[in-house]
Structure formats: C-alpha cells, structure tokens
Structure 1
Amino acid sequence: MPADLAEKTDRYERLLAEALDAATITVPPDTPLADAAADYEEMARSYLEDGRHFRAGDDPVNALAAFSYGHAWLDAGARMGLFAVPDEGDLFTV
C-alpha cells in the first residue's frame, strides 16, 4: 500500500518542528563546535521554513523533502553531541 503523501508531509513537518523545540545546544559557547551547532540548527530551521513555503505553494513533494532534510541536519547534530535531545519518543534516532 503506498504511503499517503499528505499524511507523511504532515508527520515530517510535526517531527521537525517538535525536534527543533526539544533540542538544546550543549557544547561550550565561543568554540568551533558552538558555531557548528548554530549552523546545524539554522539549517534545520531554514528547511522547516522552506517546507512550509513549498507546502503553501501546493508542492508537497518538495515540502516533504525539505522537512526530511531539516530533520537530518538536526539528527546528525544530535548524534555528534552538539545537542541534548530526549532519549524517549520518536524525535531522534540517537
């Protein structure tokens, strides 16, 4: 059975928005790692905005791709230890 594009887009938008709210930068400020964490967070937020823009323009395929890319940036940062994230739930793969 094929996945429902609208449902999947909704789910990934929610996942990214909630993950952004849950992630906290944990590396020391004024270090290259803090700069990297800020960059990863900015990329995730930018992809969330892009996804919402695509969705508003009736382009769900690119919206889903943007939400997925944004979450990948945030999840990669969490795996590298740039962010503190919840251990439970479905927001992160760490």
Structure 2
Amino acid sequence: MTADLHEKMDRYEGLLTEALDEAESVPPSGTPLGEAAAEYEEMARSYLEDGRHFREQADPVNALAAFSYGHAWLDAGARIGLFDVPESGHLFTV
C-alpha cells in the first residue's frame, strides 16, 4: 500500500507541475476575472509548495492531498474559462 501511495504522490505532483506549465490565464490582468485567475493560480502554486513540504516531512498522505487540491483549483479555473488549457490529454477535464 505504501508503494501505491508514493506512486500516486509522485504522479499527482507531476500532474500539477505540468498543468501549471500549460495553463494560460485568459482574462486581462487588472479585471475582476483576471484577479480571479491569478488567485486560482496562486492557490494551485501554494498547494504545490505545501505538497513538497509534506513530502520532505515524510507525510505522503498530506502531500498527495495538497497536490490533488492544487490541481483541482486549476481544473476548476479551466472549466469556468479562466485558463486556456489543452483540450486533449490527461491534464484537464474540460
């Protein structure tokens, strides 16, 4: 079970990292939607940092949860049109 948890933690960290690289903010900065996109991205990046911290602390459960939450912020932002993302592939559900 521990090996599965570590594999998932690694996979979700990679997924979040790749998703952050691919997501491009759509609304102009300085607008309410631009601010929302920036906040969604900030939340995703914060959860990536948190996950890496938990990994360093040998806490794979919270690391996996943080990586998953971070990706959920990006995915939700993509679904409501805050980010331009690839429509095919494994990164987003749009």
**Which interval holds the TM-score relative to the shorter structure?**
over 0.9
When the two chains are superposed, the root-mean-square deviation of aligned CA atoms in Å is: 1.6
Residue 24 of structure 1 is matched in structure 2 by 24
What is the rounded CA distance, in whole Å, between the counterparts of 1:72 and 1:84 in structure 2?
Answer: 15
| TM-score for the superposition, normalised by structure 2 | 0.95
Q: Which runs of 4+ in 1 moved over 3 A?
A: none
Q: Count residues in correspondence.
A: 94
What is the rounded CA distance, in whole Å, between the counterparts of 1:51 and 1:5 in structure 2?
Answer: 13
What is the rounded CA distance, in whole Å, between the counterparts of 1:30 and 1:39 in structure 2?
Answer: 12
Percent of counterpart pairs with the same letter?
76
Show structure 2 runs of 5+ residues with no match. none
Show structure 1 runs of 5+ residues with no match. none
Letter in 1 for 2:11: R
Residues 21-65 of structure 1: CA deviation (Å, up to 9, x unaligned): 000001122210000000000000000000000001000000000
